């Protein structure tokens, strides 16, 4: 397909597609002349991935570039793939290190294989920020939350990931996190409303 058709099918303007090409977010098409190139479904899929990361994931162009590079050259091991996905989706590097108490709290969860993972470091930074804001998260609370998230992870880390290519498995992990994180956050709000209604009643004064 010509770039005009790629634009029409993806809903992305031609100037934006050319920007993606310049920035290395989209691989070059097959040249058919000095100024003409054709594109295929792999380009359409990549454009949709970039739009998802930018529009839904709110990733910067620099971070999207890191993501597509990781997908194009993924690690072979399936467990390492998840670490690569978490590294690609990490927030911008913080300007400070996590507090020692937060690091100790993460270590106390008893996840030795995750001690220095991107996700564990992100958790330590989040705990540090919460404490700095005056909100201390008790170890028992953190343990309960971890148990709930383990149940979620059982549906995330599916066995079928071992049967697809490394690049496709990494793409699944990255896009899956980007698209479902807002759903999980919304479900927490829904559950809070449900528990609040049962515990305090729905009346304006807290009466059933």
Q: In angstroms, rounded to a whole number, what is the distance separating the alpha carbons of residues 114 and 116? A: 6
Residue 83 token pair: 């670490």
End-to-end Cα separation, the chain, in angstroms: 62
- How far is Cα 80 from Cα 74, in angstroms, rounded to an integer? 9
pLDDT tens for residues 92-101?
Answer: 666 688 999 9
Token pair of 7 as six digits = 């634009």
In whole angstroms, what is the distance from residue 173 CA to residue 53 CA?
A: 12
> Which residues fall within 8 angstroms of residue 43, CB to CB, at 6 or more apart?
6, 26, 27, 29
Beta strands in 35-177 (DSSP E): 37-38
Q: What is the mean pLDDT of the chain?
A: 87
Token pair in block for residue 195: 């528990």
Confidence label for 21 from pLDDT (cuts 50, 70 and 90)? very high
Question: What is the third-level CATH fold of 1-56?
Answer: Multidrug-efflux Transporter Regulator; Chain: A; Domain 2 (1.10.1660)
Sequence ranges of the domains in the chain: 1-56, 76-208
pLDDT at 90 over 80: no
In tens, the pLDDT along 42-76 reads: 999 999 999 988 988 888 888 888 888 888 888 87
Handedness of CA 121, 125, 127, 128 (dihedral sign): positive
pLDDT, position 106: 93
């Amino acid at each position: 397909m010509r770039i005009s058709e790629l634009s029409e099918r993806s809903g992305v303007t031609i100037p934006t597609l050319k920007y993606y090409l310049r920035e290395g977010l989209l691989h070059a098409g097959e040249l058919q002349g000095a100024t003409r190139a054709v594109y295929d479904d792999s380009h359409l899929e990549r454009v949709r991935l970039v739009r998802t990361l930018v529009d839904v994931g709110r990733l910067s162009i620099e971070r999207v570039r890191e993501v597509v590079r990781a997908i194009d050259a993924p690690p072979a091991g399936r467990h390492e793939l998840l670490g690569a996905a978490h590294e690609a989706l990490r927030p911008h590097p913080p300007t400070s290190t996590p507090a020692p108490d937060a690091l100790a709290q993460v270590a106390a969860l008893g996840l030795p294989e995750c001690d220095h993972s991107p996700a564990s470091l992100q958790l330590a930074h989040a705990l540090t920020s919460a404490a700095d804001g005056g909100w201390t998260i008790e170890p028992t609370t953190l343990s309960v939350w971890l148990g709930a998230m383990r149940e979620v992870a059982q549906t995330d880390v599916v066995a079928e990931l071992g049967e697809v290519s490394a690049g496709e498995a990494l793409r699944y992990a990255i896009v899956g996190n980007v698209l479902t994180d807002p759903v999980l956050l919304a479900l927490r709000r829904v559950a809070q409303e449900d528990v609040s209604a049962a515990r305090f009643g729905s009346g304006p004064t807290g009466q059933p």
